[in-house]
Amino acid sequence: MKNIYDLSFSEIESFIKEKDEPSFRSKQIWEGLYQHRYSCWEDFSALPKPFRQMLENHIALTSLIKVDSVFSNDLQTEKVLFQMNDSNYIESVLLRNDNRLTLCISTQSGCPVGCVFCATGNLGFNRNLTSGEIIEQVIFFIRALQPDNEKLTNIVLMGMGEPFLNYDNTISAITSLNDASGLNIGARRITISTIGIVDRIKQFAEKELQINLSVSLHAPNDLLRQQLVPLARKYPLRELFEICHYYFEKTNRRITFEYVMIGGINDSPALAHELVSLLRGLNCHLNLIPLNPTSHFIGKPSNPAMIREFGRILLEKGIATSIRDSQGSDIQAGCGQLAGTINQRKQ
């Protein structure tokens, strides 16, 4: 059975035409999905009952089932486990920070990149999500927040998986999320995070979208980066930074780089100076993220003093740098901790 969220507006129009229904039914369905966020076909009261019945028999309105959820000790982070129709699992994370409500969503079940410090990579790769499964994560949280009159402010495709290894479905999903006649989530409130899939960054740049781009770096030289990120063997830093410069020239959009700080591995002052040389001349911002512990990786987060010194070196050389909090790490909801299994400790 098809998932309605997998269909673009033009695909819904084609379906309506095949069924010899008036063309305005397409708009009624689209608005019901993305503006009213109906959860069953019976809610689409503007549609004739026989047509609703046909839709119920042929097109699913959901493909994700909430299995469990857990809140952090400070109640600022919620992690939700979803099961998909084929019994694969994904996790999404809602982060509260000041006046921001940021939703971190998944694009794959598991991940083929294999970063050594990442719980998702340790799972291996199950499959790509469809565009509808990506969208449904957002719809779920919009509905959940509605009773308290809360609204999502930001979406980051930074959960399980590598978005640019599921490129077409990722772009299709953000197109629907950004659609002015749909959820109307502003492009600048959406961020795609990638390990650096060079050909896809080029393709993305050529779309000249206002979507934010974040690149997971983790090391300033190929030898160390390839030890931490096995897939980086296919994408040397020289090629990655050529395409990053191309991206900025094409879009005039600043790039964010993510750098997980691992004690004694990638946090030395010498590596900070290497990083300065790599980033100099590119309009970018660097986030330093203390390693979030996982059960399969013996590395430890860098000492806070080492992180501050690392950041000081970068800032003194003119590289815009921030030290990020590891929000949600107590429920395994921080960067690199999503593993498709919910932490059982609850409030």
Q: What is the CATH number of the domain that holds 54?
A: 1.10.150.530
What is the domain range of residue 56?
Answer: 2-60
Count of domains forming the chain = 2
DSSP 277-342: HHHTTS-EEEEEEEPPP-TT----BPPHHHHHHHHHHHHHTT--EEEPP-TTGGGT-STT---SS-
- At 280-316, the pLDDT tens digits run 999 999 999 999 988 889 999 999 999 999 999 999 9
The catalytic residue among 91, 136, 162, 258 is 91
What's residue 121's pLDDT?
83
Q: Which residues contact 187 (CB under 8 A, 6 or more apart)?
A: 178, 209, 210, 211
**Burial (Cβ within 10 Å: 0-12, 13-18, ≥19) of residue 150:** middle
What's residue 326's pLDDT?
74
- At 200-248, the pLDDT tens digits run 999 999 999 999 999 999 999 999 999 999 999 999 999 999 999 999 9
pTM greater than 0.85: yes
Q: Same domain for 178 and 244?
A: yes
What's residue 344's pLDDT?
44
Q: Same domain for 54 and 125?
A: no
Q: Same domain for 210 and 160?
A: yes
Asked, for residue 342, whether it belongs to a domain, the answer is: no
Q: Same domain for 126 and 38?
A: no
Q: Same domain for 9 and 152?
A: no
The catalytic residue among 111, 115, 244, 335 is 335
If you compute the radius of gyration of the chain from its CA atoms, what whole number of angstroms results?
A: 21
Q: Report the sign of the C-alpha dihedral through residues 47, 51, 52, 55, in that order.
A: negative
- At 131-142, the pLDDT tens digits run 999 999 999 999
- C-alpha 270/C-alpha 313 separation (Å) is 10
Q: Is 18 a catalytic site residue?
A: no
Asked, for residue 346, whether it belongs to a domain, the answer is: no
Q: Same domain for 179 and 258?
A: yes
**CA-based nearest residue to 301, from 312, 288, 313:** 288
Q: Same domain for 190 and 223?
A: yes
139: which strand partners? Answer: none
- C-alpha 33/C-alpha 36 separation (Å) is 6
Q: Same domain for 56 and 203?
A: no
Residue 343's pLDDT band (boundaries 50, 70, 90)? low
Q: Same domain for 50 and 114?
A: no
Q: Is 111 a catalytic site residue?
A: no
CB 294 within 8 A of CB 118: yes
Q: Same domain for 144 and 124?
A: yes
Q: Same domain for 239 and 124?
A: yes
Q: Same domain for 113 and 24?
A: no
CB 42 within 8 A of CB 52: yes
